[in-house]
A and B are shown apart, each in its own frame.
Chain A
Amino acid sequence: STGDLMPMPTSPATDMLSPAAAQDTSLFSSPRNCLHRCAKLDMSSPLMYGTPSSRVEGTPRSSVRGTPARQRADLGSVRKAPQVDLQSEPAGADGAVASESNAGQRLVIWGTDVNVGTCKEKFQRFLQRFIDPTSTEDENAGLDLNEPLYMQKLEEISVVGDPVLNVNCLHVQSFDAELYRQLICYPQEVIPTFDMAVNELFFERFPDSILEYQIQVRPYNALKTRNMRSLNPEDIDQLITISGMVIRTSQLIPEMQEAFFQCHVCAYSTRVEVDRGRIAEPAVCRHCNTTHSLALVHNRSAFSDKQMVKIQESPEDMPAGQTPHTTVVYAHNDLVDKVQPGDRVNITGIYRAVPMRVNPRQSNVKSVYKTHIDAIHFRKTDEKRLHGLDEDAEQKLFTEDRVQTLKELAAKPDVYERLSSALAPSIYEHEDIKKGILLQLFGGTRKDFSQTGRGHFRAEVNILLCGDPGTSKSQLLQYVYNLVPRGQYTSGKGSSAVGLTAYVMKDPETRQLVLQTGALVLSDNGICCIDEFDKMSDNTRSVLHEVMEQQTLSIAKAGIICQLNARTAVLAAANPVESQWNPKKTTIENIQLPHTLLSRFDLIFLMLDPQDEAYDRRLAHHLVSLYYQSEEQMEEEFLDMAVLRDYIAYARTYINPRLSEEASQALIEAYVDMRKIGSGRGMVSAYPRQLESLIRLAEAHAKVRFSEKVETIDVEEAKRLHREALKQSATDPRTGFVDISILTTGMSATARKRKEEVAQALKKLIQSKGKTPAMKYQQLLEDLRGQSETAITRELFDEALRALADEDYLTVTGKTVRLLA
């Protein structure tokens, strides 16, 4: 029979058994197989926990035996695995069996070293005793962490009635390493044993509770494998956990678990279990002895749900230059339709390999196996992105060594300088800009005051780079985009509001409307790099207002109204409107962006071409060495990009600095100072927004140092950087003073004053002309020019006219100016 059935190939440790059929009704059969077998079974055996009568609905059930067991399709086709007594058959056992010291119990399941009794006992002990006081998993929210964790979960099951117990394999490992090893190596045998143990325990404790079916144990978080690429033949038939992205799900496949046959002659019915995808059709009716009289009755056969899910490696896990691998996963029963294409998931399951049949009629086979995973547990990693941060998913695993290296690096006094110079080494100088971007990469501390009604505070630092074309702004953006795991790169020229936010699209397969998220939402928790910010259309830009302060994105399209999180830091680059930066104009005038948007940037830098000889020389040297230094020399000089990436990831996840007392004082002083500077000249020079920026920058700087506390040095650096950026972007070209109102109101205080003066002068001029209801525009301009001692530009004149029109003093229609009233 073995020839055409083709069982699974096995990993070296386990083994298939085939002389099986003989003794499967005895005590030695594995727990799962005893369902629906005839009544001569020994009901007192601990292995029995489903009975033929349990199928009958409606009877009150409140014990292990009263509750029907549900076939666990996820554990694969039923294997007839008898137990073997090691003492009587020492030769047949594997070498792996060694540790079982309990003299009386030497019974193990064939091919494994699992003793059902011991295993069950151990697991029950685990359930009753395991405590994890440091648990941070959100599933355990509301549980008393100092009480046995899983007993509380059982209690929950008795209340909620959802008979699934998820067990974290790490807990099992920390409790009993041997049990964990068995679970990983022989999941097919161990998990049913766990089921049994749980159910006994449960119905002992809650004898009155009624469940739909018996509790199923779903282990997750097996550390065996993390990455799809590292799966290898040794993992076959073992419990693994891999992460990936769902790319396709099939329709629901009903899979027959048990066939129902009825005799045509005497209507005698019989049930046959499906064994490895095959039904052994009974040839003879046992009741009337007619041959070939039994017919399959479909609607009385038992089916279970099955679904094929294809997952693909997450892009982060892949080596460069290779295409992602895919793996087939089968979801069974209630796991069907749990995931959708596009979801990022962690899947725990049993890895399987089946030989491929070329043709049923041929004896040759392709020497290739088909592999798949029978899913036992799904965990979506981005499930909670709509509600809060899923720390778990973000957490990258760092090895001890790596953490050590990072900490050593952090302890260096010049870590800040080191990191900033490691950033985009191919771009020359612009130290402060790199420092600013470095702080952006780390970000501030996330604060949530929504419970007190003040909402979220933005932790992300937004940066705008403006400057002459050809000053490697795009290159800097590209670098950042390549550095951060969740970065997006768009160009203002090409992207519409739709591409940035989200759009509704009809899925070609399902014909359903689906919401496709754009760059801003995709870079949630990352950085969105927007090149050619100035080329963006106005309504695209308006979307950014919400994102850059509230960090959310509201969409109302095609009947879908929702608010998505977009906690993204924006790194934008803008070119001046004229081809060259005009140093005689303010930032606003140069890039022509609305000040409402500009004020949302924490730092605005100018990337100008400094024109001095020493700089030129250094630049030339830098460029030449860039081209002609060998690869190795470059490597030595700078920190590895990978180290930088890990450093940032580590700091972002583990370091949450808080303000110290001195630091708060320093911040207050800094803010007050900033306000003071302006007040002397009668203008406001700082707004609360600037204070918030300072706080964010100081926090980010503390993160760079891996410090849990924001100290005065952090504030000092934040102040310095902020001042530098302001010096570049908010200097009033007319006075030479730094004037924050350029960025906040779009006009410097002096410019505003000047406008006022011109308007007054104009009004006087008009009044001096006497009663003339209408004047020529050009004439008026020339008159004003003749009268004034300072030059009056056309723009200035227009603004003055507009100001007067606002006062309802006059109106401008085409080329004529009319007085009102």
Chain B
Amino acid sequence: NNNGADSGWEAKAVEFFKDHLKEKEARTLVPSLNDVPLHYLKPNSLVKFRCLIQDMFDPEFYMGVYETVDPRLKAKVLRCGKYRDVTECGVDFNSRNTVTAERQTFYCVPVPGENTWVKDISSQARVVPSTSYAPSRQKRSYEEDDDMDDMDTQPQKQRETHGGSQTHSEQHHGNGDCKRQETEAPSNQTASASHLDLNFPLPGEKGPSCLVKVYQDWDGFKLNDVLEVFGILSVNHTTSYSSSSLLDPADSMETAEEQRVHCPPASLVPRLHMLYAKPLPHNNPLLPPTGLEDNSAFLSSTLSEMASVRAELLAYFTHVLLGDALAAEYLILHLISTVYARRDVLPLGKFTLNLSGCPTAASYTERLYQIIQQLVPSSFYLPMSLQNMNQMRLVPKKDYVANRLVSGALQLARNTSLFLDETQLEQGQLDTTGVRNVTALGNLISWQKVDYDFNYHQMEFPCNINVVIASEGRSLLPSDCQIRLQSQVAPAHMDEYLSAVHMHPQASSQLNKFRMYLSVARQLDYSISDEVTKSVEDDFVDMRKDDPQSVSAEDFHRLLVVARLLSLSLGQTSLSTDTWSRAKHLDMLRTSRMEQHKCVNGNEP
């Protein structure tokens, strides 16, 4: 038990945990909040949580070291208040040894839009928690809460309530024990949980959110960072807000609403006292969690396979995109794009794709999204229907009454695929919210930033979201690259064709190959030699010589991005003249197709 205040000891302990967690196996031994239902986890034990920082609360002061007095023995004991929510009884408030310390609270949610395959794969690797797996909750509370058992006077029923609803939301993980729980849980429980808004960025999200207490270097974390947090779980219900408890007039500085948000029931939103957090460059469970540089063996083996996997993926996409190989090329490029740097306001490497000419029949766009969903770790489908645009909250907004950042659909982790379905847009009027939402989407695409609404001012948060827009004509939103889909399938056979495509799910090993390919290609380093630079420059000058209108600076910007992505997609980490001419060729094909279309269909800009 961590009594005692020696700070040297404390640092050593944290160091010890860190060292052990660095070892490859140790990581996987820690149970994860993402896939183990909360009530199976032992309180005050080490757990991990893969999450996104959704909100940052105000820093709080706590008793870092305090002294307790045992009334019977009259003995004073120094105790450490770190990594826990509640003090032990008999605190001597006037002790000179009390040390006030500061810590920061982050409100963390599971990675928004994380696809089920990611969850499935990571939970396959999960460990059986060290506690008894049998859901004997009563036992647990007496067994482990020995130092806080005086709080267990709280009615047992209430605990059951929260536990039950938790089970309900977790049951789709297919845990046999859960099923049994489910039947035990009274039926009215889901309602009690749903009135509490857990503030997930995307609608329909599930999973526990968590209050993470950070003890050091909290300035290093940023909003929307994706982390794997290792910390000590605390589900002490005394930290929860309960409306029945008498409010001390001195405490009235917080409104009831604020309390509800900042102190949600611990059984729904557990507290996690962070020992160590690792920023995740990606959330693909198929890749080694650390950066690619550390895994040269893995890297070389994947690199050698890249070209062949790419060919297979291209064939698959061509099939999915109604036999259009060019569009398939661009889709691959889009899926591996990422903002790799910013030059003053200009984000480099973004590659927003506008897939125009999508058939409206047979809910093609939705099916297309389902395919993408199978391949990328996190994604979100946003039908741009008038109703959605006018009603959805895309931009996060600060709620000053509850003092929290109310999330919006654009609060996404890096490299989330955002699929905008413009075929759903119908004629009608956009209201103020609608106009604001469309502007926000436009800003996101052009500058890769979202202006969060702080009521009195706006604050800019940079983001890195892959946006693909499916539309019939040219999209009303800006895009880096527009490609017109040329269907090789006769409209009459469309339904048949589509159902055939989607009825044959790829073998999972094949899918895993694609998944790995896309994530690895995005992580690769890229360079360009002086020689190639020279020839690329010459090329530009030559192109301009023939017809200055043909290539503008903007076109050149795009060409450079295409060349970069094309190289990476082939597993080449530096640009070759071959790839450069191939990129040029691709772009030429694309533009000629656009012009062709313009001639056929005069109105289309």
Chain A partners chain B: yes
> Which residues on A are within 8 Å of B, measured CB to CB?
2-3, 6-7, 9, 11, 15-16, 18, 231-233, 236, 245, 247-248, 253, 277, 308, 310, 312, 315, 318-328, 330, 341-342, 353-360, 362-372, 424-426, 428, 468, 470-472, 474-475, 478-479, 482, 491, 494, 609, 611, 613, 616-617, 619-621, 623-628, 631, 634, 641
Q: How many residues of B contact A (CB 8 A)?
A: 84
A-B pairs with beta carbons under 8 Å apart, 7 shown: A231-B59, A308-B253, A315-B454, A364-B151, A366-B87, A472-B553, A616-B541
B317 to chain A: closest CB distance in Å? 26
Q: Hey, which chain A residues are within 8 Å of B456, CB to CB?
A: 245, 247, 341-342
In the bound complex, CA of A367 to CA of B541 (Å): 68
Q: Which of A245, A616, A641 contacts B344 (CB 8 A)?
A: A641
Q: Can you name the residue of chain B whose Cβ is closest to the Cβ of A324?
A: B454
B100 engages A9 (CB within 8 Å): yes
A494 engages B435 (CB within 8 Å): yes
A648 to chain B: closest CB distance in Å? 15
B345 engages A479 (CB within 8 Å): yes
Interface hub of A18, A478, A627 (most chain B Cβ within 10 A): A627
Q: Hey, which chain B residues are within 8 Å of A425, CB to CB?
A: 343-344
B556 CB-CB contact with A under 8 Å: yes
In the bound complex, CA of A135 to CA of B520 (Å): 64
B46 to chain A: closest CB distance in Å? 20
B56 CB-CB contact with A under 8 Å: yes
Q: Can you name the residue of chain A whose Cβ is closest to the Cβ of B56?
A: A323
A309 to chain B: closest CB distance in Å? 10
B413 to chain A: closest CB distance in Å? 14
Interface hub of B86, B251, B439, B527 (most chain A Cβ within 10 A): B86
Please list the 6 inter-chain residue pairs (A to B) with the smallest Cβ-Cβ separation, ordered nearest first.
A321-B222, A620-B540, A426-B343, A620-B537, A233-B100, A611-B548
With A426-B344, A628-B533 already in contact, the answer to whether A366 and B238 are too (CB < 8 A) is: yes
A380 to chain B: closest CB distance in Å? 14
A322 engages B251 (CB within 8 Å): no
In the bound complex, CA of A624 to CA of B553 (Å): 11
B250 engages A277 (CB within 8 Å): yes
B226 to chain A: closest CB distance in Å? 13
Interface hub of A6, A232, A478, A616 (most chain B Cβ within 10 A): A616
Instruction: Fill in one digit per residue for B500-533: 1 if any A CB lies within 8 Å of its CB, else 0.
Output: 0000000000000000000000000011100001
In the bound complex, CA of A621 to CA of B553 (Å): 11
Q: Can you name the residue of chain A whose Cβ is closest to the Cβ of B82?
A: A367
A611 engages B544 (CB within 8 Å): yes
In the bound complex, CA of A355 to CA of B100 (Å): 11
A367 engages B87 (CB within 8 Å): yes
A321 engages B564 (CB within 8 Å): no
Contact stretch, chosen from B135-143, B372-380, B417-425, B457-465: B457-465
A613 engages B223 (CB within 8 Å): no
B43-66 CB contacts (< 8 Å) to partner A: 55-56, 58-63, 66
B299 CB-CB contact with A under 8 Å: no
B207-241 CB contacts (< 8 Å) to partner A: 219, 222-224, 238-239
Q: Can you name the residue of chain A whose Cβ is closest to the Cβ of B554?
A: A470
With A356-B251, A357-B251, A367-B63 already in contact, the answer to whether A619 and B553 are too (CB < 8 A) is: yes
B204 CB-CB contact with A under 8 Å: no
B99 to chain A: closest CB distance in Å? 8
Q: Hey, which chain B residues are within 8 Å of A232, CB to CB?
A: 102
In the bound complex, CA of A644 to CA of B560 (Å): 30
B94 CB-CB contact with A under 8 Å: yes
B311 CB-CB contact with A under 8 Å: no
In the bound complex, CA of A623 to CA of B553 (Å): 8
With A9-B100, A470-B553, A627-B348 already in contact, the answer to whether A616 and B540 are too (CB < 8 A) is: yes
B93 CB-CB contact with A under 8 Å: yes
In the bound complex, CA of A435 to CA of B87 (Å): 62
B23 CB-CB contact with A under 8 Å: no
B525-572 CB contacts (< 8 Å) to partner A: 526-528, 533, 536-537, 540-541, 544-545, 548, 552-554, 556-557, 560-561, 564
Q: Which of A360, A366, A625 contacts B86 (CB 8 A)?
A: A366
Q: Hey, which chain A residues are within 8 Å of B90, CB to CB?
A: 363
In the bound complex, CA of A7 to CA of B541 (Å): 76
A360 engages B61 (CB within 8 Å): no
Q: Hey, which chain B residues are within 8 Å of A358, CB to CB?
A: 86, 238-239, 245
Q: Hey, which chain A residues are within 8 Å of B238, CB to CB?
A: 358-359, 362, 364, 366
Q: Hey, which chain A residues are within 8 Å of B541, CB to CB?
A: 613, 616-617, 620
Q: Hey, which chain A residues are within 8 Å of B561, CB to CB?
A: 627
In the bound complex, CA of A614 to CA of B582 (Å): 26
B403 CB-CB contact with A under 8 Å: yes
Q: Which of B224, B447, B552 contacts A609 (CB 8 A)?
A: B552
Q: Hey, which chain A residues are within 8 Å of B528, CB to CB?
A: 624, 627-628
With A315-B459, A364-B150 already in contact, the answer to whether A310 and B344 are too (CB < 8 A) is: no
Q: Hey, which chain A residues are within 8 Å of B98, CB to CB?
A: 9
A698 to chain B: closest CB distance in Å? 28
